[in-house]
A and B are shown apart, each in its own frame.
Chain A
Amino acid sequence: MFRQLWRYRSLTMTMVKRQYQLRYRQSLVGFAWAIFPPIASLLVATLVFHKVIGVESGTNVSYPLFALAGLAPWTFFTSAVSSGVPSVVGSIQLVTRFSFPRAVLPISFMGTALIDLALTAGIFVAYVLVTRVGIPLTALQFPLLLGIEMVLATGIILLGSALNTFARDIRLAVPILMQLWLFLTPVMYPLSIVSHSLRPYFLANPMTGVIENFRNILVYGKPLDWSLLTPSVVAALALLIVGTWYFGAVEDRFADVI
């Protein structure tokens, strides 16, 4: 499947470009909309979690920077999953009329999510520059960690978009699941405030290791904590294998059932 995807990479690029153009077409502010969601969630996190509930970063790092370092990778993950899962069904015009590797559709939404991530990263860098805290050298491990997160998201959207073609329940469940997942992952609060009795469950969550490590390398200057990351890597590889296998096994039928 991946060899085929490589052969059709220009199609994937075209799809990414189109999706990005379409998203802001006929809107007045246009492209500027791309930077509002991360800023908005940062404001909500700071206002509600920090000021109202009194959540602290647990270290000497300011809460907004702490939250942004977790929200950026989380937003990437959630936007890739929630746009990737309905992608095959959403392209019914293409699926029922053309022969092309169907995986182009969910994968192209990874591309759009990556562009969004780049914008959020821009906000992060701007914040760091303005507040003069600087970015530690460990941030060089960013591509590796992002790679693990992308593998995890790819596995989920391949499996999810294939299943959603047969049962639209999947698409309806995704927003609910993603919201639950957000609150069960230490994105807007640190893992350190989770009680010891609950800690094992949190550590089993593959996104815990991803988010905590993003903070480690981007804010705290600590290298990747592989023991924390093990569940993430295992889940990412398992989902990628299952997702790729299932998608490849049933993609022939999409045009018939869509």
Chain B
Amino acid sequence: MDALVTNNVTKRYRIGIGRARVREMTPPPLDRFFAKLLPKWWTKDTFNALEDVTLSLEKGSSLGIVGHNGAGKTTFLKVVAGVTAPTNGSVKVNGRVAALIDVGVGLHPELTGTENAYLFGAMQGFNTHAMDAYIERIVEFAEIPDLADTPLKRYSAGMVTRIAFATVAALEADVLLIDEVLAVGDAQFQRKCAAWLADYRKRGGSLVFVSHNLGLVRSMTEHAVWLDHGKVVTQGPTPELLTEYGKAMEHREEGLKSGGAKKLVKAAGSKNRWGIGGARLLSVHVDQDALDAESVDVQIAYEGSGELTSAVFRVGFIDETGRELGGAVSPNLPVEIEGGQVTCAMPLPLRTGIYFPVVSIITADGQVRDHWRLDRPVVVERNDGLGEALGPVEFGGTWAGSRNGSHA
């Protein structure tokens, strides 16, 4: 059975505060009349936050939504949650839907934590009496002392998120919509939420999960959809979709860079890109044949400056938490003034997970000339059924077994 079905959902917003407001406040059927009478004026300054989004979610399964800022992810959740009506198309939800959208600010800053929980419950149709039964569990899950007598404004965004998630967890809807919520909390609470969500899905709950954190999307969802400018680019099993999404990000990152040298100077010094210069990475392409590939081909294009004649190139991988897992270091290679390419065929001894490439150019004196942490993920799926608790790196090894008492 489907928990959620959307059919050609389109959501059109009006931009601006002048004319747009006049058009918005015109009630039906007058608005239809004006739309026919002055079609040009009526559709001016509009944009489609969602366009013909058709997808479905089976009961007990989970759907991740990825896309750049402004792709329509949050709008989609709002339409499904019934916060806003679609301009066209239909949404069908089986059962009660609960949404955690932008909860970092809470419901009311002057109300205490428990009062916010009660209000949240009231919004979901639970009266005060019904909420009394849940409040203990909420306080316990949120792990915040003084929940009952401190106004929300005195809490950090992370604590407010805890309260919101704890409330949703206690009330347990049939379809749960989560938008960037887990990104706010600390790692320990994040794990707690992830564990709860896994349980929730085993009990038959359905989940729609939106995050910029592709690692979370990978671990939380089986299927994913990629939205761009309100349209579905593609949908499918999460690992494959993330790989495809990653390839598109690679093009995007290249596009950013060819924007000119000045742009890069600005980018240098950021968390993802730094170095003292002298040679510069232009593009990095990771060629991965399949999700369970044992090796990858990495192609690096760089730009020289005449300052360097040789350097060491390195391709490494980090996991979703930013932890370095190791990589491959080249011997000293000549650096061409007019720029050039370096390729590396390297083994990929990684277990199931999501990883991000890190590429650097380093001179023999240890100076990092350019260091680039790419946003595009490399998704690895090993079909050994052993899960992810065994660490990210696979050493391999040649194994042999023998029986006691026999002479090998």
Contacts and interface: CB of A to CB of B under 8 A. Distances in A.
Nearest to A249: B27
A97 interface: yes
Contacts of A14: 118-119, 122, 127-128
Interface centre among B110, B122, B125 (most CB of A within 10 A): B122
A25 interface: yes
Interface in B72-117: 78, 81-85, 99, 101-103, 105-108, 110-111, 115
A2 interface: no
A9 to B, nearest CB: 9
Interface string A77-108: 00000000000000001111111100000000
Interface string A225-258: 0000000000000000000011001101101110
Interface of B: 13-14, 21-22, 24-25, 27-28, 78, 81-85, 99, 101-103, 105-108, 110-111, 115, 118-119, 122-125, 127-128, 151
A62 interface: no
Given A14-B128, A18-B111, A96 B25 contact: no
A167 B103 CA distance: 27
29 contacts: A10-B122, A10-B127, A11-B123, A11-B127, A14-B122, A18-B111, A22-B111, A93-B105, A94-B107, A97-B99, A97-B102, A97-B103, A98-B83, A99-B81, A99-B82, A163-B25, A166-B21, A166-B22, A249-B27, A250-B24, A250-B25, A250-B27, A252-B85, A253-B24, A253-B84, A256-B14, A256-B24, A256-B84, A257-B21
A167 B21 contact: yes
Interface residues of A, number: 31
B123 to A, nearest CB: 4
Contacts of A167: 21, 25
B128 A166 contact: no
A212 B106 CA distance: 46
Nearest to A246: B27
A116 B113 CA distance: 27
A8 interface: yes
Contacts of B85: 252-253
B239 to A, nearest CB: 31
Nearest to A26: B110
A18 B108 contact: yes
Interface centre among A13, A18, A250 (most CB of B within 10 A): A18
Contacts of B151: 25
Contacts of B108: 18, 22, 93
Contacts of B122: 10-11, 14-15
Nearest to A12: B122
Contacts of B14: 256-257
A196 B106 CA distance: 57
B18 to A, nearest CB: 10
Contact of A10 (B81, B103, B128): B128
A255 B21 contact: no
Nearest to A25: B110
Contacts of B105: 93
A95 B127 CA distance: 19
B83 A97 contact: yes
A99 B83 contact: yes
A100 B22 CA distance: 25
A230 B271 CA distance: 73
Contact of B84 (A13, A100, A255): A255
A255 B75 CA distance: 11
